[in-house]
Amino acid sequence: MRGVLIGILAVVTLGTVVFVLIDMYAARAPSSAASAPVADGAPATDPTPPPTVVAPPPSPSVSPPALAPAPATPAPAAGTPVDPMDVVINGKTRREWHIYFAERQRAMAEEMARAQPIVDRAERGEEPDPRELGDAQTTLKQLRERIKQDIDALATIDAASP
């Protein structure tokens, strides 16, 4: 019974890793989500920023400001859809968040791959070191919880409006 449960959890974990990797790949592909209707019923707004107003050059009697102007990001042309993966949320773009969580997912999958054989040996009737077995079981439990938390955090980021 316990072996079946661990097998199911391993399949769920691997499925989660595959899902995140597919999601990362989809984030790289050209997106048509910008033209999709808004799901929550709110009217779709034009994601392009308002045009920048340029002040006339100062007269010769006025000295230029001492601080250099901040580098301006090029405004997209009118009618050009903005990729939703380029929207900044909590200091990073959605694309950067997906990359961050995919890397964490990869690292956790590697840790799980190191711990799982120890638990598997115990299930086959072999007797691994009790401390090693306990550490492996604790590691697997913690990693599964972190995976769930990461999936929830990424879903929250993806659901956040720009």
Between CA 29 and CA 103 the distance in angstroms is 19
Does some domain include residue 34?
Answer: no
Answering whether pTM is above 0.95, one says no
- Classified as helix, coil or strand, 55 is coil
Number of domains in the chain: 1
Does some domain include residue 114?
Answer: yes
**Can you give the pLDDT at residue 4?**
63
**Can you give the pLDDT at residue 87?**
84
Tell me the CA end-to-end span of the chain in Å, nearest whole number: 47
Does some domain include residue 103?
Answer: yes
The parent domain of residue 11 ranges over: 1-29+84-162
Q: In angstroms, how far is CA 118 from the centroid of its own chain? A: 30
Does some domain include residue 156?
Answer: yes
Does some domain include residue 59?
Answer: no
Does some domain include residue 73?
Answer: no
Assign residue 14 a region (left: φ > 0; alpha: ψ between -120 and 50; beta: otherwise): alpha
Does some domain include residue 134?
Answer: yes
Q: What is the pLDDT along the chain (162 residues), one digit of tens a residue?
A: 666 667 676 666 766 776 666 666 665 655 444 444 444 444 445 455 555 544 444 444 433 334 334 344 455 555 556 777 888 888 888 899 999 999 999 999 999 999 999 999 999 999 889 999 999 999 999 999 999 999 999 999 888 876
Does some domain include residue 57?
Answer: no
